[in-house]
C-alpha cells in the first residue's frame, strides 16, 4: 500500500497525463451497474441507475479522475482526494477543457467525481470484485451525501445497516 507522500508525485503525474490525453467518451456499462445495484436492493433503484448514467458519460474527465482517486484496493483521506481533485480541476480550467458550469464551480466538479466514483464502485460490486466491503462503505458514504441518491442510501441502510449504525472507515 502506498502512502500519501509516496503517492503524491505519482498522482500528480497521472493527472497531468489525463490533461494531455483526455479519455474517450463511452456510454456507462448499465448491465454491470444494474448488477451492482441489485447487490444493494432487489428492486426500486431504477431511478438511481438513470441518474448515475445521465450524470456524466463514462470516460469523462471526472470519470477518469474518480478512477485515480478511488481505486478499489486503496482508500485515501478525503482531504487528500480533494487536494488532488482541486489541482486537476484548476489545470483543466486553465487548459479550457471544462464546460462553463464545471469551470465555475469546484463543488459541482467534486459532485461529478463522486458520482463517477459511485458508478465505478457499483460496477465493480456487480462484477463481484474482491474489495466488496470497501466498495460498499464508499457507496454508503457517498449516497448519504446527496439527496438525489436518497433511494440508494435507504436501500443500503436496509441491507447493510452496519455502515450507518456506528459510522465506518474506508481503511
Instruction: Tell me how far CA of residue 76 lies from CA of 11, 35, 45, 140, in angstroms.
Output: 12, 26, 28, 16
pLDDT at 170: 58
pTM value? Answer: 0.88
pLDDT at 29: 85
pLDDT, mean over the chain: 89
pLDDT of residue 58 exceeding 70, the answer is: no
d(CA 161, CA 133): 13
Cell of 170: 474506508
Residue 170: closest CA among 125, 145, 135, 120: 135
pLDDT at 166: 60
pLDDT band at 1 (very low <50, low <70, confident <90, very high): low
Return the percentage of the chain with pLDDT > 90, whole number: 65
d(CA 23, CA 4): 25
- Of the given ranges (22-36, 80-94, 123-137), which has the lowest mean pLDDT? 22-36
pLDDT band at 38 (very low <50, low <70, confident <90, very high): very high
Does residue 26 sit in helix, strand or coil? strand
Q: Where are the domains of the chain?
A: 4-165
* Mean local confidence (pLDDT), 141-166: 91
- Of the given ranges (2-6, 14-18, 78-82, 93-97), which has the lowest mean pLDDT? 2-6
Amino acid at each position: 500500500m502506498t502512502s500519501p507522500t509516496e503517492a503524491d508525485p505519482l498522482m500528480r503525474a497521472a493527472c497531468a497525463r489525463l490533461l494531455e490525453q483526455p479519455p474517450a467518451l463511452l456510454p456507462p456499462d448499465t448491465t454491470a451497474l444494474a448488477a451492482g445495484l441489485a447487490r444493494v436492493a432487489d428492486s426500486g433503484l431504477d431511478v438511481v441507475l438513470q441518474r448515475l448514467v445521465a450524470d456524466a458519460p463514462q470516460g469523462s474527465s471526472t470519470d477518469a479522475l474518480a478512477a485515480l482517486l478511488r481505486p478499489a484496493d486503496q482508500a485515501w483521506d478525503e482531504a487528500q482526494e480533494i487536494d488532488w481533485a482541486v489541482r486537476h480541476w484548476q489545470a483543466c480550467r486553465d487548459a479550457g477543457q471544462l464546460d462553463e458550469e464545471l469551470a465555475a464551480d469546484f463543488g459541482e466538479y467534486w459532485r461529478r467525481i463522486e458520482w463517477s466514483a459511485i458508478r465505478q464502485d457499483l460496477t465493480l460490486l456487480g462484477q463481484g470484485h474482491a474489495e466488496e466491503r470497501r466498495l460498499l462503505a464508499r457507496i454508503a458514504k457517498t449516497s448519504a451525501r446527496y439527496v438525489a441518491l436518497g433511494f440508494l442510501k435507504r436501500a443500503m441502510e436496509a441491507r447493510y445497516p452496519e455502515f450507518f449504525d456506528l459510522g465506518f472507515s474506508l481503511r
